Structure formats: structure tokens, C-alpha cells
Copies of this chain bind each other. A is one copy, B any other.
Amino acid sequence: MKIGVVGLGLIGGSIAKELKLRSFGSIEVFGVDNNPEHSQKASDLDLVNGIIDLDSACQQCDVIIVAVPVNIIERILLQILDKIDDNVTVFDVGSTKKEICNAVKSHKMRRRFVASHPLAGTERSGPEAALINLFNGKKNIICEEKFSDKDAIDNTMKIFDFLGMKSYFLSADEHDKHMAYVSHLSHVTSFALSQTVLDIEKDEKQIFNLASTGFATTARLAKCNPVTWAAIFEKNSTYLSEALGVYIQKMTEFKKLVDSVDVKGIHSSIVEANEITRVLKGIELNKTS
């Protein structure tokens, strides 16, 4: 089987690496990347069997995986759907789904496309961030499956199975809403935290001397790639804005409690937040299942 991976960053690179390394030659992986440095790096790191262009990928590959930033997926996907024939399966791995699904909705080859989102990643980026086992034990989401051919879905799920992921079905709208709250919002809280303390550092040079692991874990996502994440926020701006609105309101309420030194109110607010313990236990369980 020949698989083309378009975009050799963290996600594309990790998929390529794992397919190539673990298939013992039964899968040939071809990389497509318009950044020559990425292509060179991916070759040097042995993530792929070869580098080809998009046209060749459309002609030669059985499966094409689109792993470019979400603001470029639509364009690349339409190009691919224009060029492939009926035997080819195409799926993307973008972190937003609604606008992508809308963009290809009326394409005559829509049914060869499977809208996917493997819930995995790190705050690193580029081919050198590619990791074996990045996906193992985690979830993959497939959206609008009713518009995809059954064999295209089967082919897609087989690849995610191979990566150790379980696939779930969700509407594109629900996907984007949920991601705004449980993923995108987390990133913005890290950005604002980092910016706040970096601002203060201008006057208080030694402030980070007292930072410990609590700060490090809450600020970690601020290391993420600006190109990838600006695109995600662009494509999910409505739901992210809604989530930010609720969040800022919670913060503002908490600040009021602090301003009035309302210790009882602060205590109740923390007890309310403590309820997250139930959820975090679930995440740990999911990781090992």
C-alpha cells in the first residue's frame, strides 16, 4: 500500500514515521511538503520512503493524509479531490472540522474524503518533533461520516487502528464546540498566563526564580506553534469566542471575591472547581485504556 502524507510537521511526521517503521515495508510512505527544509529534514530523519509532489501523490497513492495547518486544508483538499480517482481515500487530521466539511460539501468526490481529528499532539512542531507512539491509546474523531463511502471510512479507521487509536463519530459542529472548550481554551489560558508574568518580569527581573512545576504545567501550552494555532483559532473563532466569554466572566467573578476578601465565596468557588477531579480521573483512565 502507498500512503501520501501532505505536511510533514508534528502530526504528519509522526504518522509517517510510525507507518513506515511499524509496517515492516508493507506500507510505502511518501511525503509532500512545500517547505524544502521540512522535506529534507523528513528524509534525513527517515520518516518517509521518498518526497514527491502533490500531483504524483494523487496519482500514485492509495491513501492521502492531509496534515497541513487547518487554514490551508480546504485549498489542498479541493486540489486533491479534483485529481484523485474513485479508489483513493483522503483524510485530514485537522483540529477543526466544520469549515473543512463545508468547503468540500458539494464536491463530486466528497465521498472519498473522511474528516478526521486524532486527539494527540505535543507543544513541539516540525518534522524533528515527530514521535513514535504519539497516538497510541488515544482517541480519533470522525465527523460527517454519512457523506463518506464506507470503504473510505474503513481505510481511514484501519490506519488509526494501526496507530493504536480508537475512532468515534461526532457531528462537525459538536466537535468544534467541544474542542473550543476542552482544548482551544486551555491554550489561550496558557498564553495569557505567560504574557502576564512576562510583562511583570520587565520590572521584577527575578520573578521566575519562584516559578515551580505548578506554573510550568499551566503555562506549557504557550510553547505551541503560532502558525498551527492561529489557523485553528481562525477556523473555530465563533465557539472559541463563546468559551472565552464564559471564562473571562468566571475570572472576573473570582477577582471580585478576591477584591472584597470574601473568603467564604473564594472557598465555595474552589469547591466548585474541585468537581473537575472526577473528570481528570476519567482522562487518566482513557489514557491507559
A positions within 8 Å CB-CB of B: 71, 119-121, 138-139, 141, 168, 170, 174-175, 177-179, 181-183, 185-200, 204, 206-224, 226-227, 229-231, 233-234, 237, 240-241, 243-248, 250-252, 254-255, 258-259, 261, 263, 266-267, 269-277, 279-280, 282-284, 287
> Can you list 13 A-B contacts (CB < 8 A)?
A139-B209, A181-B196, A181-B207, A182-B212, A189-B192, A216-B280, A219-B276, A229-B270, A241-B258, A244-B254, A248-B252, A248-B255, A251-B251
CA distance A219 to B229 in the complex (A): 20
B251 pairs with A255, CB closer than 8 A: no
A189 pairs with B207, CB closer than 8 A: no
A194 pairs with B276, CB closer than 8 A: yes
Known contacts A214-B186, A219-B276, A222-B276: does B198 contact A177 (CB below 8 Å)? no
A178 pairs with B210, CB closer than 8 A: yes
Known: A189-B218, A220-B280, A231-B263. 10 other contacts (CB 8 A): A71-B263, A177-B204, A189-B251, A191-B250, A191-B270, A192-B250, A223-B280, A226-B271, A230-B266, A245-B255
B276 pairs with A223, CB closer than 8 A: yes
CA distance A182 to B209 in the complex (A): 9
CA distance A219 to B218 in the complex (A): 8
A212 pairs with B183, CB closer than 8 A: yes
Min CB–CB distance A80 → chain B (angstroms): 24
Name the residue of chain B whose CB is nearest to the CB of A219: B276
